[in-house]
Structure 1
Amino acid sequence: MTTTPIRLQDAFAEAGVTGRLHAVDIDSGAEVGVGADQPVVTASVHKLCVLVTLHEQAAAGRVDLTEQIECPPEDRTSGPTGLAAMLDPVRMSLRDAAYLMMAVSDNTAAELLLERVGLDAVNATTARLGLTRTRAVHSFREMFASMREDAGPGGAQALTDPYVIARLRALDPARTNHSTPRDMTRLLGAVWRDEACTPEHGAAMRRVLGLQVWPHRLAAGFPFDDVHVAGKTGSLPTVRNEVGVVEYPDGGRYAVAVFTRAARTAATLPSADAVIGTAARIAVEALRAPS
């Protein structure tokens, strides 16, 4: 395992990204990391914190997950998936909104849930679970509004300009929703050990995390029919993240958090996506290697 950090750094460098990673055996506590305690921009990974808060409140009887919410077309957060792409009024339950938030990273669904539970509650939940370096600074709608403001008159097209990228508050951990790789694996471990919530709600969260549709990051590192990967991605200009749990048929389960920043500003960088899976596999294989 002593060479693992070097292998991880080499993989990130070859992909043209700066990477931060933490992986931990959920049951034994064995760990491996690179920059595991460095602050990182969470982007949509922070939706995991919203999900845990929602289920914590449901377990306490403060929220009914079958409660119906309305979402008219004129009140939707920008985004290419889910409710933002729909044209007609939608009525759905809180738990179905949570599914959309996690499975397709639906920004509007996330905003609806965040309005229901409250930003302060999200921060209280992460604090209760010992995530001392994790904080939600603003809502997802506010984050996108800051990006539009920082991009200026050039709009979305300006987000390929390195000078514009450098001034985006949404890409500065000190000014946006943030965490560390270690904090995120701690949160995942709590969900998988039923420490974050009751077993009933823990199972519901694990189910939803297992329904994520994106196979090109974390899951790409584990192309095996008998290995299960559940996770949540996060993306912003130059930022590609994913946190999740890898479960093997022998009962081994490993929480992994990978956060990357690309040197190039192109929206499509297959190597930057793929290295998340590559790095995760390097880390998990190191944890599984005979000591």
Structure 2
Amino acid sequence: MPRFRTSLIAFLGLFLAPLPTADAFGPVRSPVQQDAEARLMNEFSRFAALTDGTVGIAVRDLSSGEMLSFNGDTLFPMASTYKVAVAGKILALLDHGQLGLDEQLPRLGRSMPVRALLDMMLTQSDNEATDALVARAGGPAAVDGWVRALGIKGLRVDSNTAQLLARAKVLSGGFGDEAAAEARLSEGERNARDMPNLAFATDPRDTSTPRAMGELLSAIRQGKALKPSSTALMLSIMDRCKTGKMRLRAMLPPGTQIAHKTGTLNGLGNDAGIVTLPDGRMFVISVFVMKDHRGHVIRDRIMAEAARAAYDYFLFAPERRTV
């Protein structure tokens, strides 16, 4: 009987104990803030409806840490956005004294310094430069290991660019400089070649969620991945990205600073970057579109619209505070 009474008191205690306060679950959002978030998510949903494919968006305020996403945990082929991770691994080797920026690496039978190859990879999305750097980094597994060591889940690197394109069975304008290849193809040629490979789109290799790509960019920008000098070098190169002019940056106010990296394959378009607001605050944004049959113009518009909506949200939304 005493044992039963003890059990009964303990059971009743579950119901009589005070409920946890709102603070136990983090700051309470004001109705105004909740409305602003709902409006942004509705905008993301509206942009996603422009394609017959799948859209993933993740945005993060680097000051507050606030994260919002639409299909943020869905896996997408990274395409050339994986080159952010390649650059990170190369610069980590530099930070540890295992590599020099003037070290010569082979590209198309000609030696070029690491510094130049980094620039070509991040600004022009040059594939030969990328694969020379992947090899110097120790291969795809070494790049993947660097990402995992940062504690980032949902992003994996399995291939170099040549291997990735072979799996994707891409019919592109060339293996080398993607910026130049885009310029060489006419609109009709791009559209004719721009049909998605659905098997490739569902392959888990060389994929990332929008959230994970955002976490990688956040770790880099906040100095958690590289030394300050390497962080500054990487972002200064990404500031000069020449690809994707109609993507994230297209609808941002003139002069807006954005350090970003694009990715393009058949039926697929990505862009991920760090945007600086007029007051100096920054936010990270990743927009991925896959399995799309409607063409690169629609995909580019989705990315541009999402970036502008996020820009306005972070610039004008109310302060994050408890109520």
Structures share fold, TM-score greater than 0.5: yes
Please tell me whether residue 286 in structure 1 is matched to residue 313 in structure 2. yes
**Among candidates 81, 84, 98, match of residue 62 of structure 1:** 98
Shift of 1:265: 6.0
Equivalent position of 1:240 in the other structure: 269
1:18 to 1:128, Cα distance in 2 relative to 1, 3 A: same
Deviation at 1:221, TM superposition (A): 2.5
Give the alignment partner of residue 91 of structure 1, picking from 89, 108, 111.
111
Partner secondary structure for residue 145 of structure 2:
helix
TM-score, normalisation: structure 2: 0.76
Q: C-alpha offsets along residues 182-238 of structure 1, whole Å, 9 cap, x if unaligned?
A: 11111111111111100010000111111101311011121322x201100001111
Alignment partner of 1:243: what SS? strand
For residue 166 of structure 1, the aligned residue among 198, 202, 211 is: 198
Q: Which residue of 2 aligns with 1:190?
A: 219
Unaligned runs of 5+ in 1: 73-88, 151-155
CA shift, 1:133, in A, is: 1.3
Residues 58-91 of structure 1: per-residue CA shift (max 9 Å, x gap): 100111121012223xxxxxxxxxxxxxxxx533
Partner in structure 1 of residue 247 of structure 2: 217
Q: How does 1:109-124 map to 2 (within 5 A)?
A: 109-118=129-138, 119-124=140-145
Give the distance between the partners of 2:305 and 2:52, measured in 1 at CA.
Answer: 13
Match of 1:275 among 275, 298, 302: 302
The total of aligned residue pairs comes to 262
Partner of residue 140, structure 1: 161
Do the aligned partners of 2:47 and 2:306 also contact (CA within 8 Å) in 1?
Answer: yes
Paired with 2:63 and 2:221, the residues of 1 have a C-alpha distance of 10
Cα distance, 1:24–1:105 mapped onto 2, change above 3 Å: same
Q: Is 1:51 aligned to residue 87 of structure 2?
A: yes
Deviations 1:154-196 (CA, angstroms, capped at 9, x unpaired) = xx9995566xx233x3x2241x201111111111111111111
Give the 3-state SS of the residue equivalent to 2:253 in structure 1: coil
Q: Does the CA contact (< 8 Å) of 1:231 and 1:242 recur in 2?
A: yes
**Structure 2 counterpart SS, 1:134:** coil
Q: Deviations over 1:91-119 (max 9, x none)?
A: 31011101100101101100000010022
Q: CA-atom RMSD, angstroms?
A: 2.2
Q: State the match for 2:150 in structure 1.
A: 129
- Check whether the contact 1:209–1:232 (CA below 8 A) recurs between aligned residues: yes
- Determine the C-alpha separation between the residues in 2 that align with 1:184 and 1:114: 18
Q: CA deviation at 1:3?
A: 2.4
Identify if the C-alpha distance between structure 1 residues 128 and 67 changes in structure 2 by more than 3 Å, giving closer, same or farther: same
Gaps of 5+ in 2: 1-36, 172-189
2:34 aligned with 1:2, yes or no? no
- Choose the corresponding residue for 2:237, options 199, 208, 212: 208
Secondary structure, aligned partner of 1:14: coil
User: Over alpha carbons, which structure has the higher Rg?
Assistant: 2
Taking structure 1 as the reference length, the TM-score comes to: 0.84
Q: Which sits farther off after the overlay, 43-52 or 273-282?
A: 273-282
Q: Identity of aligned pairs, percent?
A: 26
Shift of the 61–133 alpha-carbon distance from structure 1 to 2, 3 Å rule, reads same
